Every structure is written in structure tokens, then in C-alpha cells.
Amino acid sequence: HVHVPVPTPRKDEVLLKVEASSLNAFDWKIKKGVARPILPRKFPYIPATDVAGEIIEVGSEVKNFKAGYNVVAILNHFSGGGLAEFAMVKESLTASRPLEVSAAEGAGLPLAGLTALEALTQSAGLAKLGNSHVTATCGARNIEFVKSLGADEVLDYKTPDGAALKSPSGRKYDAVIHCARGIPWSTFEPNLAENGKVIDLTPTPSAMLTFAWQKLTFSKKQLVPLLVIPKGENLVFLVKLLKEGKIKTLIDSKHLLSKAEDAWAKGADGHATGKIILEP
């Protein structure tokens, strides 16, 4: 832990007293250097991008927020800064947080929610809003939990059918949201509908080559790499859904900011069920 000066907001920024922040898989990818080709960073670096808290100062051109407002915000990965007592955020990537949404719920929302929204259906909850039939995959210990979110079918990825992504009802998938690495295109292809797409949230160089080849050959079935570009209006929309109870922030655990190492280790382990939250 180190002490750094409290920043002063630029003209289009707000200074936030952080009440909660959350970790994402991309945070430890930055630490490991995996993201260096697309996100070169010099260290030291304060990780985490998803925050909720109270505005204590606004920049000269900020129009929609004032000191004292409670908000949810997402920082960019180039600057980071979420694992701190204060954070600087762009007004354009900030959303008001209603009383019905706790700081922890708000902090767990931005990157996961925006990714889900841009991928059309990242979770059973968002897919259900579009009346889609949802097949989900998870480990055996989480099957009932995932069903409780509204999934129509759940596959245990450690079983033969689960590893092969075969729908219990024999359905072909119009869209697959691919959240983990290590599954080849040959596993997806026979399970897709005629114009089915695999939305890849963690695209590898191999996935990019597959995408390019399919474009060149006009393939109806496609693997589509997803790179999330946060948009403020989408964050506002997600906070509204959270307030209305149409989506949920699933919290695995809460940790004190002073014990950030414990939270980091739990996240890097890769078996959290929900978001890992840090609070002052």
C-alpha cells in the first residue's frame, strides 16, 4: 500500500470518494503482462476500473453531476485507479446511483454488465429480457445457482456432453457467449444454427485468425471477437435495470481495501461465483 496525492479533476471529470470497487479478470491479465500487446502500461499502476461512491468535486465543464451525488462509474484500463480511496472518472462514463442500488451492487456492475449488453446475451438474466432460450455451462456445484438465474438448460462442462456443448433439448445455438479460453472452433461449429455466431469475450490470436478467415470465405457461422468500448448511456440503462430488479449483481465476497491482496488472490484463482467487492 502506498500514499499518493488526491487528484484534481480535469474539466470533464469528477472526483469520487470510493465506497466500493470490484475486480475483473482483465485486472490480473494486466499484472501478468497478458494484455501488454493491446494495453501497454508502465508501473506502478493502480488496478480496477469499476467503482461506486460519492462525488466530492467536479470539473469546470461537468454539467450533469454535483458534489454529493452518489454514482456508479467505469474508469478506462489505461489509467485504472479503482483500488484507492479516491478515483477520477469521466462524466461521460458515470451514472447516477439510486437509493435502491447499494454501492457494492453498483461497483459490481460496469464492465461485466457492459460486456453482457454488448455481447447481446452474456447472462441468463439479460437473455431472458429478450425472451431467448438460454443454455448455460458451469461446474456441478453451481448448476442449481445458475438455474435460479433463469437459465432454461444447464450443462456441466466437465461431462462429455457439457464439454461438447450439446444442448439437452437438441437445440442449435443462434448465439454462444464464449467466456473462457481453450475451446476450439470445431467444438462450436456443429452446435450452431445456420447463421449462428460465437461471441468471444477473450479472443486469442488464433481466434482473430479464425474470424479473418471466416470473413474472407463468407462463412455463415462465425466467431466474433468482442472488444468492449464502454458507453455512458449503456451504463445508465444497466443501472436502471438493476434498480428495477430485472438484473442482479451477484456478489461472491466482500473485502476491506486494506486486505486487497486477499481479494486479488481469490479472483486470480478463477473460481469466484460472482463479483469480488472491495470496500474502505
pLDDT the model gives residue 17: 98
pLDDT the model gives residue 8: 92
**How many domains does the chain fold into?**
2
71-79 average pLDDT score: 90
pLDDT the model gives residue 113: 94
Query: For residue 218, what are the domain limits?
Result: 117-225
Average pLDDT value over all residues in the chain: 88
In a domain, 103, yes or no: yes
Residue 131 shares a structural domain with residue 199: yes
In a domain, 8, yes or no: no
Q: Which residue has the higher pLDDT, 254 or 122?
A: 254
Among candidate residues 32, 48, 15, the one with its CA nearest the CA of residue 276 = 48
In sequence order, what are the beta bridge partners of 263? none
Spatial distance between the Cα atoms of 4 and 27, rounded to a whole number of angstroms: 20
Cα-based angle 47, 38, 118 (whole degrees, multiple of 5): 80
Among candidate residues 231, 229, 235, 230, the one with its CA nearest the CA of residue 96 = 235
Query: Cα 242 to the chain's mean position, in Å?
Result: 15
